[in-house]
Amino acid sequence: MTAIPQGRTRRTAWVAATCALAVTGTVALTGCGGDDPDAGTNGVGKLPADKIQAKTRAAADAAPAVRLSGTVVTSGTTYTLDMRLKADGGTGSVTSKGGTFRLLRVGKQLFLKADADFWSQGQDSSAGGKLDGKYVKVPQGDPAYKKFSGFTDKDVLLSGLLTLHGKLATDGHHSQSGVRTIRVTGDNGSGGTLDVSLEGKPYPLRLVRAGSAGTLSFSDWSKNFPLTEPPKSDTVDYGQQLPTS
């Protein structure tokens, strides 16, 4: 019997071990025993990058709800978001410049809930105590409405975020929170990267925006959640102009 070189034995054992990990979903690998990395998936991993992006945008647009968390950098300001969104509104928290506030939009009505320090930054410093911990109605004509309502609008937010810049290409099979993904890049990553689910519908799961403009994770696709206006006892209608913008 011909002896098997020890190096080959070690190499065979290593391949077997890593392929076993891939099967359990711990890592995502290709080339394990010649297996098709797209076997048992939704098939989008075999498509060209532009087709993958089109399918993931269509899936995201059609989903009734989503949870979005991570950072967005816009106009030089970094916002940390944890928002749940659906067609008729959204709710969640936003952190910026060391302060955190909550947003709630039901239909066209937007509410902003923050502590006294947030409100005391406005022109009317005495308002802080009155509005501390209250849901404040944001008039549609107030600058704050335009500034913050986009964070609660699924269509507006996703259409602005799910865009890769430059030439599209695929960048292999990966995994996000145990879900197999195919990665799409713009200009080899400088134009952003998007991980698309290979399991179930091709939802976007993780986005790295171009120009260091933030990183976002998407979860709870199509998972419904309650969205109602806060009790009147917790609501303040400040009128036509908020004390801060």
What pLDDT, on the 0 to 100 scale, is given for residue 13?
A: 47
145 with 232, same domain: the answer is yes
Position 38 in a domain? no
99 with 115, same domain: the answer is yes
Contact 139, 241 (CB under 8 A): yes
CA angle 194, 195, 201 (to 5 degrees): 120
**pLDDT-derived band of residue 149, with 50, 70 and 90 as boundaries?**
very high
What pLDDT, on the 0 to 100 scale, is given for residue 34?
A: 56
138 with 199, same domain: the answer is no
91 with 131, same domain: the answer is yes
120-142 pLDDT per residue, tens: 765 555 566 678 889 999 999 88
Report the interhelical angle of 154-161 vs 49-62 (nearest 10°): 170
**pLDDT-derived band of residue 110, with 50, 70 and 90 as boundaries?**
very high
* Residue whose C-alpha is closest to residue 82's, from 99, 94, 100, 90: 94
175 with 113, same domain: the answer is no
pTM of the model: 0.80
Q: How far apart are CA 7 and CA 34, in angstroms?
A: 21
Q: By residue range, what is the domain housing residue 1?
A: 1-33
Which of residues 12 and 59 earns the better pLDDT score?
59
Question: Within 13 A of 219's CA, how many CA atoms are on the CB side?
Answer: 10
**How many domains does the structure of the chain reveal?**
3
DSSP string, 163-222: ---SSEEEEEEEEETTEEEEEEEEGGGTT-EEEEESSSS--EEEEE-GGG--EEEEE-TT
Position 244 in a domain? no
What pLDDT, on the 0 to 100 scale, is given for residue 240?
A: 61
Beta-strand pair 99-106/109-113: antiparallel
Secondary structure element (H or E) that encloses residue 93, with its range: strand 89-96
130 with 232, same domain: the answer is yes
138 with 232, same domain: the answer is yes
Position 134 in a domain? yes
What pLDDT, on the 0 to 100 scale, is given for residue 243?
A: 58
110 with 135, same domain: the answer is yes
177-195 pLDDT per residue, tens: 999 999 999 999 999 999 9
Q: How far apart are CA 173 and CA 171, in angstroms?
A: 7
What pLDDT, on the 0 to 100 scale, is given for residue 93?
A: 97
